[in-house]
Amino acid sequence: MSKTVKLEQKVHAKGHEIALKLRERFAAKGIYVVNLIGSPGAGKTALLEAAAKHLGARGGVIEGDLATDNDKRRVEKAGMRAYQINTVGACHLDAAMVRDALNEFSLDGIEFLFIENVGNLVCPASFDIGENIKVAVVSTTEGEDKPAKYPKAMKVASAMVVTKIDLLPYITCNVGKMEADVRNIVPGMPVFRVSSTKDEGVKEFIAWLEEQRGSTVAASV
Amino acid sequence: MHELAFAQQILEAVESAAADYPDARVTRVKLKADEYMAIEPASLRFALESIAHDTVMAGAEVEIEEMSSASEDGERPWSGAGLVVEEIELDE
C-alpha cells in the first residue's frame, strides 16, 4: 500500500542551527557581521584594507581561503585584527568553521566583523554563516555581466560593491548596466562604486554599514 | 558542490517524517527548489543516493521541481526562497 505524506518542510544547508546561534552571539555583543562574497580577484581583500583606514580597531576580519594566510597579513597590516581560515578543499565557509574560528579569535572591541568568504560566486551564496548581511563584491575588470550571470549571489546580497572603478578609463565596462542588472534581480539594491586603492567610495560604503548596524542594534534593544 | 550540505538536511527531514511509519519504506521524495538556490538536480540526486544507503530513503525516487522565486520572500538577507521537501511517498 502506498501512502503520500505532505511535509512542506523548508530545508537549509547544513549548519543553519549553528548560524542562528552565532547570530545571537554577535547581536549580544552589538557586532554587525558582513559576509563578503565575490569571485577570486574581485578585490574583496583590497576593499577590507581600504575599510581598515576608516574603521581601524572597530573592525575585525575572518578570512577564508583554500590556502595561505596572505589575506590575514594584508588586513592586519592595514590596521584591523584578523583570523585566517584555510578550507583546504572547500569552496565556501560554513557556520561551523566560523564558530571554531571564534575559539581562537577574540571579538572584544569589534563593532564590525567582516567575513571574507572563499573566492567563488556560487557556493558561498547558499550558506548562512551567522552574518547580518551578505555583500556581493564585483570588479569592473571581470566583466559587466557578472550580476546577470550569478543571480543567486545577487539575490541573497543586501548590497553590491563595484570595485576597481579607477580602471574604467582603460577597460570596457558599463557600470550602469551592472546596476540595472542587479536591480532587475533585487529592486532598489544599494550599489557602491569603489576604488579601494584610491580610497574612493569607501567612505560611503562604510557610512551605509554604520547605518545598517545602527538600525540593527536599535532593533535588538 | 553545496548540494551535499542540502542532501544531509533533506535526509534528516525525510527520516523524521518516516519515523511515524516504522514498517514503511520511502519510495519517492518530492522536492521544490527555488531557481535561485542554484541546485543542480544531478548533483543533488547523486548526493542523496550516496548518503541514503541503509536508511529508510534507500532507493527512493527523487523528484525535483524548480520553482520561480518572483515573489518577495520575507527572509532576505540570509536565505533565498529556498528548498522545500514537499511530500514523501511510503510503501507500507
Are the beta carbons of A158 and B76 separated by less than 8 Å?
A: yes
CB-based contact A36:A51 (threshold 8 Å): no
What is the dotted CATH code of the domain comprising A31-208?
A: 3.40.50.300
**What is the distance between the alpha carbons of residues B64 and B84, in angstroms, rounded to a whole number?**
10
- Look at chain A and count its residues: 221
Q: What is the mean predicted confidence (pLDDT) over A139-167?
A: 95
CB contact under 8 A, B86 and A15: no
Q: Which residue, A203, A123, A200, is CA-closest to A163?
A: A200
Q: What is the pLDDT of residue B80?
A: 43
B10-34: pLDDT as tens digits: 999 999 999 999 989 999 999 988 7
Question: Is B88 touching A (CB cutoff 8 A)?
Answer: yes
pLDDT tier at B77, thresholds 50, 70, 90: very low
| Test mutation, A1, A4, A5, chain B, max B CBs within 10 A | A5
Check B13 against A11: CB less than 8 A apart: yes
Q: Is the pLDDT of residue A66 over 50?
A: yes
Find the mean pLDDT for residues B32-61: 89
The predicted-structure confidence for A178-199, as pLDDT tens digits, reads as follows: 999 999 999 999 999 999 999 9
Residues 6+ apart with CB under 8 A from B36: A151, A152, A155, A156, B69, B80, B81
What pLDDT shows up at residue B92?
83
Angstroms from B31 CA to nearest CA on chain A? 9
Nearest CA in chain A to B2: A123
The Cα A65–Cα A69 span in angstroms is 8
At A31-55, the pLDDT tens digits run 999 999 999 999 999 999 999 999 9
**Which of A4, A6, A152 has the CB atom closest to B37's CB atom?**
A152
Smallest CA–CA distance, residue A180 to chain B, in Å, is: 17
Is residue B42's pLDDT more than 50?
yes
Instruction: Nearest chain B residue to A159 by CA: give it.
Output: B77
Q: Please tell me which of the candidates A2, A128, A157 has its beta carbon nearest to residue B91.
A: A2
How many Cβ pairs closer than 8 A exist between chain A and B?
A: 111
Distance CA A186, CA A195 (A): 24
Q: Where are the domains of chain A?
A: 31-208
- The residues in B 33-52 lying below 8 A from A, measured between CB atoms, are 36-38
CB atoms within 10 A of CB A91: 15
Q: How far apart are CA A136 and CA A141, in angstroms?
A: 15
A115 touches B: beta carbon within 8 Å: no
For helices A70-78 and A44-55, the axis angle rounded to 10 degrees is: 30
What's phi and psi for A66, nearest 5 deg?
-65, -45
Distance, CA of A100 to CA of A110 (rounded, Å): 18
d(CA A140, CA A198): 15
DSSP string, A20-53: HHHHHHHHHTT-EEEEEE--TTSSHHHHHHHHHH
**pTM for the whole structure:** 0.85
* Average pLDDT over every residue of A82-100: 94
Reported as a pLDDT band with limits 50, 70 and 90, residue B69 is low
